[in-house]
Copies of this chain bind each other. A is one copy, B any other.
């Protein structure tokens, strides 16, 4: 989950967050519901194909003229026009408009408890290992707790009356109260995230192309690998202490997804690099799986219904996808909102993202440029020219908006409640989804 990086999360935190209002036309709430249900059914089929381990990337159709967004249940046509970005209206935010919620301040106290506990959890016997593992948990780095914020808000947001008895495992673990166990999920999620950052940054060789300051550069590839393994094993020990094997299994699958996503990104096959479907699947694995499945774990620990757990999952998944799509835009535009002012880090490393893929639908000749690779900087310039005259950036933003709206819609579909605490957390989650797509850095 490289793209939700330290830098970009701090940027997110610094961002003030004006409301995003760029939705074209209102639709009815039943349309919204149908959209979500349709999306979820479709997604369930798609997702089960993955979890059953029968999925093979070779089955991905790479018709460059249309692609199916597995997360939306929509087959996009190869028209140069934008997909209809209006199916969820700005109306749905209006009933929240009365109160401005700062998602981060709502859980600030709890986050600092959590940060302290995280630091104590990564204390290692061997000093070298300890300093490597603590690299991302140092005091002064607390501001970046994006995932824990989401998870703590989610824990409160679903805290409605529980419709069925607590699972046995919850009874087994009475010694630890529910909130503490949910906090533990947030800690585990952060450890898995940092472990994946450490391992993603391991280099194939001594070349430091991925940037100075990464742990592998400072302390060597090997120690970065060992520190990542150490965090994974600590996460696994903490998971086991929750005594819920469904949750263990869920988060173990996430580690597998992170690895699968990273490996998919390393592909050199043109059919895969140029497929929007492949890109979306890779993005789910690399960015959305961790936050969606840990949201689900929060609900499972609470003994919530399958429906609530699935809504929590949907929120996390769509938030993660929206975040990554905007990240891919910002890599081109940077803070200036104009092309070529971003770091261009992805394309320079040969990673083809949504803006280029959308541009390629309008200008099929761009594919030949992509196939030549981007080792030659002039090829980057040619690709940017195509991107500039295409609607690639705009369509990527619109897709991000759709996923942000789906995230918010999942929150709105949670069981009704009058509890002001619960409602406040739900508004904060909706606010977070808006911030993700409106940030400009």
Contact = CB atoms under 8 A, between A and B. Distances in A.
Contacts of A234: 256
Interface string A55-70: 1111000000000000
Most buried by B among A202, A239, A266: A202
Chain copies in complex: 2
B266 A128 contact: yes
A126 B57 contact: yes
A31 to B, nearest CB: 35
Contacts of A106: none
Contact of A237 (B206, B228, B229, B253): B253
B260 A125 contact: yes
A225 interface: yes
Contact of A126 (B127, B128, B226, B264): B264
A262 interface: yes
A129 B249 contact: no
A397 to B, nearest CB: 29
Interface string A26-39: 00000000000000
A266 B56 contact: no
A349 interface: no
Query: Closest 4 interchain pairs by CB?
Result: A236-B252, A233-B255, A240-B249, A240-B248
A252 B240 contact: yes
Contacts of A202: 202, 221-222, 225
7 contacts: A53-B123, A53-B125, A55-B125, A56-B125, A199-B225, A229-B255, A245-B245
Contacts of A255: 229, 232-233, 236
